[in-house]
Chains A and B, each alone.
Chain A
């Protein structure tokens, strides 16, 4: 059972270069790798700027494959009140379960007061807040922890487990029991350090597809030392299901 907490879908987008994605091919790809459920968010310009369009593509994917995908909405906090409206629509009309913030693409510091009203709106809707983590200086782990620490009742995910700022992540997870680390892109040693310090309960498997490969990302978690089968299952699936309260799922 694999739950992918960080997957992208936009039909055609730009991220350093042009990408094309086919929804049916994506469904085939995740099926081939034994992924049952994936959190989908928009990519490229649809995460950065044309977020309403990006969310509509994701909503369409969720509508077509409701047992495969869970929508997370991208909202640029600079859109302020309009963005909050868009988030409420994504939740109310399309059942989106989370908010994706991308400080690099969207151009804000993760703990800028600019983002507080948007985060508060998401938490009021019981949505999970995913923040792409690790880039200097906008998305450094301490900034994400500062944001999460303001809302101890909310659920926050640090994307890529803090990536290049791995030294900071153990402190951040310790300081914020409401913060989880998503595993894509990051290396074995850093994830192992987190698993040793916290056990498997604070890690969420993510693929970062199509920027990383399912084969590699899944293999990486299988290779993580020091975990028993239930522990690995927690990273692959259980933690994510609990976070999104999908207990009833098979």
Chain B
């Protein structure tokens, strides 16, 4: 069973998002729940962790965006594991309340994007939200890379403060992959998600921390089914062992979801 730990619900029904345009793309295509399921089918992915894209922009309605994810997971419970988000830099207590609301409505994890959401990942504004996640052992996935806001060691600082929550470093730290791997080495509740990892990063991580905390991820629908195949090919090249691949492609992610 292939589980993708990094997929966005990329609609514009709860607000505008900038990704495609800022990347120089030709359009602002959207993928609603059923289009996302088709994309998973085309990509050979059975299930994914799903979170909003538009809701990561402060000018949109984050609560409505979370609701859209929750609704998508109700329609496709086998395909989507819903994750929610919140804006801790606006009001830490309100952010924690929004996360509590979403967890009570069925969300299984939390996504933060410090760069888009404008706070350093080690910010104290996150404490009430992370305290809640630690109490319920809810995985928290951070976008990592793109300094100064999303540095792996900033996330590690939070992981040490809240050892009962699993912290997932989205994109493997990107250009800061060395720091992401080091964080996982130092901190047993740190996990690494592979979109953004290079073959050499995956090999190096497997040597340092083994494969049990490496989670396959794609960042779909960005890049489409082609990107999913490229992300799978990287893992197949770096980790030829079949048991290792089973762990990375699904078992590790499933273990984190209660």
Contact = CB atoms under 8 A, between A and B. Distances in A.
Contact of A196 (B25, B178, B204, B226): B25
Interface string A213-229: 10110011001110000
Nearest to A222: B226
Instruction: Give the dominant DSSP class at B's interface.
Output: helix
8 contacts: A17-B207, A185-B198, A188-B226, A188-B227, A211-B198, A212-B234, A213-B237, A215-B237
Contacts of B219: 187, 189
A167 interface: yes
Contacts of A163: 174-175
Instruction: Give the dominant DSSP class at A's interface.
Output: helix
Looking at chain A, what size class is its interface with the partner chain? 20 to 34
Which 3 residue pairs of A and B lie closest in terms of their CB atoms, listed nearest first? A223-B226, A213-B237, A170-B24
Q: Looking at B24, B207, B223, B230, which has the most chain A CB atoms within 10 Å of its CB?
A: B24
B199 interface: yes
A216 B230 contact: yes
A126 interface: no
A31 interface: no
Interface in B229-254: 229-230, 233-234, 236-238
Interface in A181-210: 185, 187-190, 192-194, 196-197, 208, 210
A175 interface: no
Given A213-B234, A223-B227, 4 more contacts: A185-B198, A196-B24, A216-B199, A223-B230
Contact of A164 (B23, B146, B238): B146
Interface of B: 22-26, 145-147, 174-175, 178, 195-196, 198-200, 204, 207, 219, 222-224, 226-227, 229-230, 233-234, 236-238
A185 B219 CA distance: 15
A241 B196 CA distance: 29
A135 interface: yes
B226 A212 contact: no
Contacts of A189: 23, 25, 219, 222-224, 227
B175 A135 contact: yes
Contacts of A135: 175
A228 to B, nearest CB: 16
Given A17-B207, A164-B145, A166-B23, A220 B200 contact: no
B23 A216 contact: no
Contacts of B226: 188, 220, 223-225
Nearest to A226: B26
Nearest to B177: A16
Nearest to B227: A188
A212 B237 CA distance: 9
Contacts of B223: 187-189, 192
A41 interface: no
B233 A213 contact: yes
Nearest to A223: B226
Nearest to B200: A211
A66 interface: no
Given A163-B175, A196-B25, A187 B234 contact: no
Given A136-B147, A187-B223, A208-B198, A196 B230 contact: no
A77 interface: no
Interface in A220-250: 220, 223-225
A15 interface: yes
Contacts of B175: 134-136, 163-164
Contacts of A213: 199, 233-234, 237-238
A223 B195 CA distance: 17
